[in-house]
Homo-oligomer: A and B are copies of this chain.
Amino acid sequence: MRYSAERKQETRERIINSARRLFNRRGFAEVTIDDIMQHAGLTRGGFYRHFDTKEQLYSHAIRQFLCMSARERWQREHVDGCAKGTELARMIVNAYLSQEHFEDRDGSCPLITLPSDVARGGKAVKGAFRTVLNKMVEVFEANLPPHDAREAALSLTALCVGAMVVSRAIDDAGLAAEIRAAARVQVLRTTGWDRVSQDSAQDVL
């Protein structure tokens, strides 16, 4: 077969990547196949060498976003790699609620960008969403006093996601920042994560 299989695979992934970003930013219906292919440096017709329908691409895009080690990828990009334990948990919270993450509309955590869409979507998408959510809960849970770790981890997750979701939906950067700051204080205070390793207390934000 001419054009090596790897090259085709690369193109395919370029398409999925473009799709992920565009869907993320504008939603399913507001993005055309033309947009996606152009964004990937291709033309309309070639699309169907890689996918059967637009919907199929959508599910791949979401899946890439949600399943494919979303937490690891995100963590690698946003958090210094060598932190451990409560220090890691604190850094994740700081990075999650940071201005930088707030502004990154294409690449941000899908729990923030997609919930309304997912709530209206099918089983597959909801299942993937749950997977990512569970990963986030696990990180928190592992760094909390055991007696009510799970309960606390669930509400911390809801708080972090909620603060970001709401921040994104308003047109007032000051209020948005205030909400994220309030959430951060609340998380760090209730968990005690602000009291560990004072030497690196000011790093992320």
Interface of A with B (CB < 8 Å)? 25-30, 111, 113-120, 123, 126-127, 129-130, 133, 150-152, 154-155, 157-163, 165-166, 168-172, 175, 178-179, 181-183, 185-186, 190
Known: A25-B120, A154-B179. A129 touches B162 (CB 8 A): no
Contacts of A168 in B (CB 8 A): 115, 119
Contact between chains at A129 and B169 (CB < 8 Å): yes
Known: A29-B28, A165-B115. A158 touches B155 (CB 8 A): no
Contacts of A186 in B (CB 8 A): 151-152, 155, 159, 190
Contacts of A157 in B (CB 8 A): 162, 166, 179
Interface residue from B29, B114, B119, B127 paired with A29 (Cβ < 8 Å)? B29
Known: A28-B29, A116-B27. A165 touches B155 (CB 8 A): no
